[in-house]
Structure 1
């Protein structure tokens, strides 16, 4: 009984029972009347779900309710035309409501996709186009072309008949866009996708049956009934609140094995359509297959281009992450070591000065413990930003050496100029803080590690001298002296 307290489960059970009762009655007013009850329940359940769960972005659900309401009005008017007014021609008033439902349902799904991926989802759009073109070729060959041939000189009937398969294709494309936007992670999407797919299958069966014979309504009405129940369950499920939430970009653009399988199948629909026609002994739709294959090929090439661009962008991002400190965005220690080796080679080749300065924010641990780690991180970021601005255009490189330590690497600048730069940096330390600095000038022969070791010795001398000052390591002597 606990499960029935859940609105979506209760609706599923009630809808399932009504659907079973519908099957008991033969085709007639009672059968179709119960069918109308189910179809009217879908927009009502969708509206109730939107009011009950109150998603932050409810516009898509109200569009969905409007589309389902149009479908329900089609069923109501169909019942009236057949069993009350005895109007059984084609096209008929119900068709206006049925045709209206497709753009509304597609708009609702596209709205969900747009809400989940506010940015330009190029990959998702191409994927949807590939599936739409492949299924569109299949629909044209086996549904649209035979239907249009059967109507001959009846343009109104041909137009309405054409609207149904085209509407199915548009809804399918919109559903793929939602899938590409990572909505498939929620139970609400699975219910929504199930409803749309079952509806599309039912529509396709109906269109095929009416194109190649007659249909008495007894074959697969149950598919539409299942679709109605699933639409309502999707809106009543609590996860509908998250369906339109912005999705992580990485998850929504992941080229998974399942996605590849679906796109491969869609790309093969053109030759599969031709093969199926040959197996059935039908005259092949040659030009349709040529056009569909050409468009699919171009879309696949475009998809590959988009994938290559994304891989390149990710490679650049990974390279940047490997080189920079994630908190401050400065060079990390590994990159600073590589930069120092490069600058040493340049100084040796040009015969210019190479100066290394190590900076340590004074009493950072006390600041961190007093103000909290987030404040400490803000101090590090603020110092890095201010120092990077002060060093811009000087040719000196700035790196985060580790913890609260930073390194300034300068090639081609005399030591006195570097001392002046340190004074500029000292003037812009955020939050009234100070730093100690150790400076070392390359002696022309020592290794980068030895140069850094001397700068580190000078740094500790500055800290022992009372902090907020700079000490310079003497060349090769292992001693330090105050910096003027």
Structure 2
């Protein structure tokens, strides 16, 4: 078990104030004992942190712990010389201990830095070398050369004296590398603490070395002690921090992005030499021309190499970003942006757009891909998309541009297609090839596809027009047996609403062209009409009355489904209020889409609509599909729970066509299931369908749910559902959706006829697997 997250903070909050307090103590053996005790805690903290966090590079931390211990031993020996022997010799064994700490620090830090990945070292070494040469020049001018030039000083003393600034230069180079590592490690807290400790150590050393030449610093040299102590404390805190384990782990990621702009730092490094010479000339001091020239001779080539690498890196980044902007992340194919640009470039290659070379554009859509992905998972869905992309590339050939245009649609731009015939043949060939089984790692999957074909430039000379017409052709292909279609003008006004008309939908809401028809829901046991389902229609001024299949799916894709649902909800509740005031106590059901259920304003919209029309919440039924409820289960439970608490009746529409179970649906606050018509229409002649309906009704009853059967086309089906104790039914055999003015008469007709049917006034002949209802009065199957 690792240390609590607050341990390193407690150590810092205790250690740093202690370091400051130590400096305030009177000079003497007692103060030095406190100083060494605080410094020794750095070694202890590192050992504790290593034993608790078990880093991969433990040796690096132990080397640094030994380095601090060596330094503390040097401090203790120096204090003994100063207070016991009364003479502090120079050099002494304390200097040996001090200088021994530097290679220990450097070795430990370099091991950690090396673990972050050798691929970063060329750049890191260059950056460190440039700035280290600059610091070395400063150290030579102000520390090393004045120390070395002292007359009468023994050689050993001078060597020891200059060893300190040289060692600090080594630590400074590593500090630069640590600062770069802080970015590469995404601001690892342990790395920041480590960098701060090295910075404090170097700063304290430089101040101490300057005290030899600057009287003010020499008079207040005890103020340097807290900085050294802070370095020990921060070093220990870095080891105590849990992030030290990550810092010590090898890194496999490569730095592919430039870490900031180093130009300012390099410019400052190059200007240090001229600045030193200028200052020395102004101060009438001997200029260090040789040292500046020598340092510049090292720095200028290093900066040139570094700048060359930086330009190369930026060039690669620009190229890489361009590739990413034009590439689909999942499949590695071109994306919609790249595809549209390629279409535009092709259309622009002729003398004018109308004279562009002939080419075929195929728009390919995977059927029911969403269902496959929900069943097998998103990872398998991505694998399918990659497999489709690879096979499509093989089928289309090397000269074709393949792109993934959206979630489950692909595009092909093939310049080898020269006629409408060859375009349609290519579409059929590609469709057949894609529908062969796809062999994934753990399973084999088959997909169905539809292909829309556009011929350039015959079917359009503008990119936007071409892509829209390809979408029109794809919509037409979905309705054809071969699931391929080439664009034709007649498609714009065909049975399916053309995409060009989707832009009119929002205006249709404002103009009141969206109208509602209502289909009765009948209680099986009594034959009473309980309520109605509101179904949207578009009374288009040119194309006549359009069904929901023409615009609902497009409204969901384009985001208009929100305003459309609010419109339908308001109109349905307004009509419900009119009926109830006229003595017709009906409830009204409205369908919700995925976007509606995920809309944070849905609950407020429902509450406002009920209040606006003076209705109780229990007159409203909201229908959702199984897939809708499972897109975001957490959000669904929250929203549906709030609606249920309001008193709104919630139901699952088209039950049986999704992939959920009654056990899952029990978690949702629904009170009603609507069995899909695909099971109900086969109820009489298909025993498996009958078994599914019967078991669903029985299980739902045990779960406290009512069942409504959709698609009831005749009285025999109604009687079978009555025998199964189904709660309610709806379908063309009872009544088609009608405008609101016709609904009261339809209700009267249903309630006059259906009770006799369910009371057994008809005879059902099941012989030979057929069913026939013989009624005591003429049977009327309402087709209003």
Fold equivalence (TM over 0.5) = yes
Rate the CA distance shift 1:224–1:365 in 2: closer, same or farther, 3 A. Answer: closer
Q: 3-state SS of the aligned residue for 1:185?
A: coil
Rate the CA distance shift 1:399–1:19 in 2: closer, same or farther, 3 A. Answer: closer
What is the aligned partner in structure 2 of residue 286 from structure 1?
289
Rate the CA distance shift 1:47–1:277 in 2: closer, same or farther, 3 A. Answer: farther
Q: 3-state SS of the aligned residue for 2:119?
A: coil
- Please, which of 464, 473, 477 is the counterpart of residue 462 of structure 1? 477
Offset at residue 429 of structure 1 (A): 4.0
- Backbone CA RMSD of aligned residues: 4.0
Taking the TM superposition and a 5 Å limit, the aligned residue runs for 1:152-171 are 154-171=154-171
Moved more, 173-182 or 294-303: 294-303
Q: What are the Cα deviations for residues 149-176 of structure 1, in whole angstroms up to 9, with x where unaligned?
A: 2376844333333321111011111111
What is the aligned partner in structure 1 of residue 203 from structure 2?
201
Q: Which has the higher contact order (CA 8 A, sep 6+)?
A: 1
Taking the TM superposition and a 5 Å limit, the aligned residue runs for 1:160-309 are 160-181=160-181, 182=183, 185-210=187-212, 218=222, 220-241=224-245, 243=247, 253-255=258-260, 262-309=265-312
Rate the CA distance shift 1:126–1:322 in 2: closer, same or farther, 3 A. Answer: same
What is the aligned partner in structure 2 of residue 435 from structure 1?
449
More helix by share: 1
What is the aligned partner in structure 2 of residue 400 from structure 1?
404
Offset at residue 108 of structure 1 (A): 3.0
What is the aligned partner in structure 2 of residue 17 from structure 1?
18
Offset at residue 389 of structure 1 (A): 4.6
Q: Residue 431 of structure 2 contacts residue 449 of structure 2 at CA under 8 Å; is this kept in 1?
A: no
What is the aligned partner in structure 1 of residue 71 from structure 2?
71
Rate the CA distance shift 1:443–1:238 in 2: closer, same or farther, 3 A. Answer: closer
Moved more, 436-445 or 396-405: 436-445
**Rg larger in structure:** 2
1:317 and 2:326 matched: no
Moved more, 414-423 or 342-351: 342-351
Q: What are the Cα deviations for residues 368-415 of structure 1, in whole angstroms up to 9, with x where unaligned?
A: 23233443233223322343355453x121111222111112112462
- Please, which of 380, 387, 401 is the counterpart of residue 382 of structure 1? 387
TM-score (norm 2): 0.53
More strand by share: 2
TM-score (norm 1): 0.81
What is the aligned partner in structure 1 of residue 711 from structure 2?
none
Q: 3-state SS of the aligned residue for 2:332?
A: coil
Offset at residue 133 of structure 1 (A): 1.4
Rate the CA distance shift 1:7–1:376 in 2: closer, same or farther, 3 A. Answer: closer
1: CA distance between counterparts of 2:238 and 2:486?
Answer: 72
Rate the CA distance shift 1:78–1:348 in 2: closer, same or farther, 3 A. Answer: same
Q: What are the Cα deviations for residues 406-444 of structure 1, in whole angstroms up to 9, with x where unaligned?
A: 111211246256654554444364522232223344475
Moved more, 135-144 or 174-183: 174-183
2: CA distance between counterparts of 1:249 and 1:24?
Answer: 50
Q: 3-state SS of the aligned residue for 1:388?
A: helix
What is the aligned partner in structure 2 of residue 26 from structure 1?
27
Q: What are the Cα deviations for residues 14-59 of structure 1, in whole angstroms up to 9, with x where unaligned?
A: 56436634653324x4443333323322211222233344456545
2: CA distance between counterparts of 1:202 and 1:61?
Answer: 22
Offset at residue 225 of structure 1 (A): 2.9
1: CA distance between counterparts of 2:351 and 2:438?
Answer: 33
Q: What are the Cα deviations for residues 433-473 of structure 1, in whole angstroms up to 9, with x where unaligned?
A: 2322233444757425565556544433432235xx45242
What is the aligned partner in structure 1 of residue 49 from structure 2?
49
**Structure 2 unaligned spans of 5+:** 440-444, 495-784
**Structure 1 unaligned spans of 5+:** none
1: CA distance between counterparts of 2:478 and 2:194?
Answer: 66
1: CA distance between counterparts of 2:454 and 2:5?
Answer: 76
1:363 and 2:342 matched: no
Rate the CA distance shift 1:453–1:210 in 2: closer, same or farther, 3 A. Answer: closer
Rate the CA distance shift 1:377–1:267 in 2: closer, same or farther, 3 A. Answer: same
Offset at residue 99 of structure 1 (A): 1.8
1: CA distance between counterparts of 2:377 and 2:472?
Answer: 30
